[in-house]
Amino acid sequence: MQVPAERLDQIANRFAELEARMASGQLEGDAFVQASRDYAELEPVAKIAAEVKAAREEIESLEEMLADPEMKAMAEEELAALRKRLPEAERQLAIAMLPRDSADNKPAMLEIRAGTGGDEAALFAGDLYRMYERYAAEQGWKVEPVSMSASEVGGFKEIVANVTGTGVFAKLKFESGVHRVQRVPETESGGRIHTSAATVAVLPEPDEVDVQIDPGDLKIDVYRASGAGGQHVNTTDSAVRITHLPTNTVVTCQDGRSQHKNREKAMQVLRTRLYDAQREATQGAEAEARKAMVGSGDRSERIRTYNYPQGRVTDHRIGLTLQKLPQIIAGPGLGELVDALIAEDEAKRLAAMND
């Protein structure tokens, strides 16, 4: 897919305009924030566009040099190298120009819940959380637990965490779905392999302006926390339950000592879930098109299997199997899967645009 020369000029002009505005020192408040976002989004596109334009111009110049017998041999050699590199640069530019999900640069709410498999599922949910936590650390992101329900044997029945940093949702959005594990539980004396599962949901976290919540639509209950947490947590009414009456969405938070902080965290989760529901509603028309991509985002969809006896991880959506389970479950190795999913999604969207 070759981008027209006029479009390359438009990108360069727009980027130069943004650079001038940012350097003027006249932008303040929301205007500066918006310009910064636009600049960060356009910068990689402008860089590739400049490379493509320079390569095209150099090819034209070298083609003119072919008429000079003394320069012909050198021109042919350089032309061959440029013509070999240009198609990949054109492809990278086309990918960079693909429409982006408006939520790609947002932080995300990571929710992991133990599924079928009892105690083993809870242990696996804990393994998944630590995998994402270590991967996030490698990316320079911050992970902050919002609420959790620990299992008596270890791991989690449920854990919700806020992940902040650059490009969080863009990289984690394909992790939503059912993750299946096949391994011999520590409690299994006969050495039999058990299959358990945990569900992962990755939701883009909105800014407060993205979701307007009428306080009159909320029912807020405070109560005494239950379970582990120390004497103070269990003897004060610090736990908070918020019900959004129009949608019957219920969120709870009981992990902190402070009722005020628990309420803030619960509201954070509520905004995220309402924003996700809004996105699903507005993107309904795109649902069929999304099915052709890497995944539908359906949290009931089985997306990946972690097979411990064979040391492999298989992503069923793109048919990719890696014999690297220890590296992946440890965190850093997850990047190879994430990158493959993003590349597959970009390739399919690019092909759809060319059809």
Q: How confident is the model at residue 229 (pLDDT cuts 50, 70, 90)?
A: very low
Give the model's pLDDT for residue 55: 93
- Whether 296 shows a pLDDT value over 50: the answer reads no
User: Which of the two residues, 247 and 28, has the higher pLDDT score?
Assistant: 247
- Whether 289 shows a pLDDT value over 80: the answer reads no
Annotated domain spans of the chain: 5-97, 108-208+293-353, 215-285
Q: DSSP letters along 239-306, please?
A: EEEEEETTTTEEEEE-SSS-HHHHHHHHHHHHHHHHHHHHHHHHTGGGHHHHHTSS----TTSEEEEE
Give the model's pLDDT for residue 36: 86
Contact 161, 108 (CB under 8 A): no
Give the model's pLDDT for residue 2: 81
- Whether 65 shows a pLDDT value over 70: the answer reads yes
Instruction: Give Cα separations from 109 to 176, 252, 275, 278 (angstroms).
Output: 11, 15, 11, 15
- Least confident range from 73-82, 115-124, 223-232, 339-348: namely 223-232
- Whether 306 shows a pLDDT value over 50: the answer reads yes
Give the model's pLDDT for residue 230: 42
The pLDDT mean for the chain works out to 86
Adjacency order of strands within the sheet including 156-164: 142-150, 156-164, 108-114, 194-204, 177-183, 302-307, 312-315, 320-322
Give the model's pLDDT for residue 310: 96
**Domain at 108-208+293-353, CATH class:** alpha beta
Q: How confident is the model at residue 226 (pLDDT cuts 50, 70, 90)?
A: low
Average confidence (pLDDT) over 171-187: 91
- Whether 203 shows a pLDDT value over 90: the answer reads yes
- Whether 73 shows a pLDDT value over 80: the answer reads yes
With pLDDT > 70 as the criterion, what percentage of the chain qualifies? 90
Give the model's pLDDT for residue 224: 77
Average confidence (pLDDT) over 182-208: 86
Give the model's pLDDT for residue 189: 65
Instruction: Give Cα separations from 232 to 145, 150, 235 (angstroms).
Output: 19, 18, 5
**Does the model's pTM come out above 0.85?**
no
Q: How confident is the model at residue 293 (pLDDT cuts 50, 70, 90)?
A: very low
- Whether 163 shows a pLDDT value over 80: the answer reads yes
The one-character DSSP state at 101 is P
- Whether 231 shows a pLDDT value over 50: the answer reads no
CATH code assigned to 215-285: 3.30.160.20
Q: How confident is the model at residue 191 (pLDDT cuts 50, 70, 90)?
A: confident
Average confidence (pLDDT) over 85-103: 85
With pLDDT > 90 as the criterion, what percentage of the chain qualifies? 55
Strand bridging mode 302-307 / 177-183: parallel
Average confidence (pLDDT) over 228-250: 73
Average confidence (pLDDT) over 326-336: 96
Two domains, one topology: 108-208+293-353 and 215-285:
no
User: Which of the two residues, 314 and 69, has the higher pLDDT score?
Assistant: 314
Length reported for the chain: 355
Give the model's pLDDT for residue 287: 46
pLDDT digits (tens, 9 = 90+) for 37-52: 788 888 989 999 999 9
Give the model's pLDDT for residue 236: 62
Q: Which two tokens stand for residue 269?
A: 């989760």
Q: Match 């498999």 to its residue by tokens.
A: 117
Contact 266, 240 (CB under 8 A): yes
